[in-house]
Amino acid sequence: MNVETPSHTKGIAQWAPRFIRCYSAPVTGAIPDAKKKFVPTLGTYPRGFLATGIYVGVKPTNKGTVDLALLVSEKPCSASAVFTKNKFQAAPVVVSRQVLEQRSGEGIRAIIINSGCANAVTGKGGLDDASSMGRAVDACFRSSPDSTPHSTRGQSLDVETSSTLVMSTGVIGQRLPISKILSAVPIAHSALSATHDDWLLAAKAICTTDTFPKLLSCTFTLPSSPDTTYSLAGMTKGAGMIHPNMATLLGMLFTDAPIPAKTLQPLLTHAVDRSFNAISVDGDTSTNDTLAFLANGAAGGHPITSLMSEDGKALTQVVTAFTQQLSQLVIRDGEGATKFVRVRVTNSSSFADAQKIASTIARSPLVKTALYGKDANWGRILCAVGYTDGLSPAAVVPEKTSVSFVPTDGSEALKLLVRGEPESVDEKRAAKILDEEDLEILVDLGGGEDGNGMEEASYWFCDFSHEYVTINGDYRT
């Protein structure tokens, strides 16, 4: 590539190419070739839901990329959500939680999301801005001639009666350009559509440092209604500040299955604990983490009132597997990441212990940098196991603990530590395994002190690279 360089910068140009970003989003907004395989070209979306994404210009430096997403149900939905546990909770988190509490999870119609500004740590003004975004969407329902009547028709809306959830993502500590956003809401509402292209636009509009939009959809059936096909769709965003504890970054799930709010909440919690609460890019938990689940029942069938029923068990499997796939796209897009790693902790005395150990390994800077350097430094993994906080007294017995690298090509695992004894490691094979993008780390606790432990948990994470530092060193610019 030939580029004309001003004379006063030629010295810089000689070394600057070494720092070209290979993994972060190109300034053109183009999706890197290596990530295009994760972007769907079609989808099967739930009945009665509409979506779109439009350009507003929330961030001053954004000159044309879509940054306002609107997702709407043609009929009122049951809804549930999980939120960040960060003490500094963003205004949209506070407002959306209040909406769900006041409505007892019923009668929700929409989600509006902006990127470019987190509306976090913005005081009362930020709360007012988040509330006004929801009210602007509600006003579109009242003015629409084919809108479904609901309890807020004809009323002056406030946060207690709004039917819209609000999310924001971007820089913390800055106010939203709220006038620009509010004036754009009717435009977004008029552009709503059920097409794949519009769902993809919505997924693009919530991106920040993401290199690709994260959108999935699937169909499923339930035992009580084998002839009824249900759809499930989801989108998420995130590439950095990822170590959810809720919650997750931002994410939305939508289905046309009939699921009351009282069933939806435990369903979401179960799935999130095994997916979005089991991923880590950098160990940081955002102020804005929110994952919402809307169900409008438009496909019909018997309402799912218990997760212990046959329908409930089947639905739990579907939603858990789906959220795992969706959350793993975040790791695939981790800022500067070159590795996609699953750490699996097996034969633990409890799921909680296994998950704590997996989480500690996943957020260890020493483990993550070793993986980036393709160094089979299993001692760092073992060290992370040993300093994990909050374990039951007999969770880890050094003499029973084993560690292995498991290749994703199906070949034999490379044993590093067997029941507390180090193995003679084939460094050439280790280097070959670590040269691949995907890797599994297996930690076998040997059943714990009593030897009877059979629980396991997984975490998905990525490595730390020079690129991660570069991206986050100039995030605001």
Query: Does 52 participate in catalysis according to the annotation?
Result: no
Task: Find how far residue 89's CA is from the centre of its chain.
Answer: 17
Cα distances from 325 to residues 23, 84, 283, 440, in angstroms, run 21, 21, 20, 16
Q: How far apart are CA 257 and CA 455, in angstroms?
A: 31
In what helix (H) or strand (E) does residue 267 lie, and over which residues does it extend? helix 261-273
Nearest in space to 83 (alpha carbons), one of 65, 74, 71, 95: 95
Locate all alpha helices (DSSP H) within 53-106, ordered by sequence: 91-103
Nearest in space to 215 (alpha carbons), one of 395, 40, 1: 40
Under 8 Å between Cβ of 283 and 367: no
List of residues 6+ apart from 34 with CB closer than 8 A: none
List of residues 6+ apart from 191 with CB closer than 8 A: 52, 54, 198
Tell me how long the chain is: 477
Q: What is the residue type of 377?
A: N
Q: How far apart are CA 318 and CA 320, in angstroms?
A: 6
**In a 3-state reduction of DSSP, which class is residue 132?**
helix
List of residues 6+ apart from 59 with CB closer than 8 A: 67, 115, 116, 117, 170, 171
List of residues 6+ apart from 151 with CB closer than 8 A: 107, 161
Please identify which of the residues 248, 285, 346, 360 carries the catalytic annotation.
248
Residue identified by tokens 């769907």 is 40
Under 8 Å between Cβ of 254 and 71: yes
Q: How far apart are CA 384 and CA 363, in angstroms?
A: 9
Under 8 Å between Cβ of 265 and 108: no
Active site residue ranges: 248
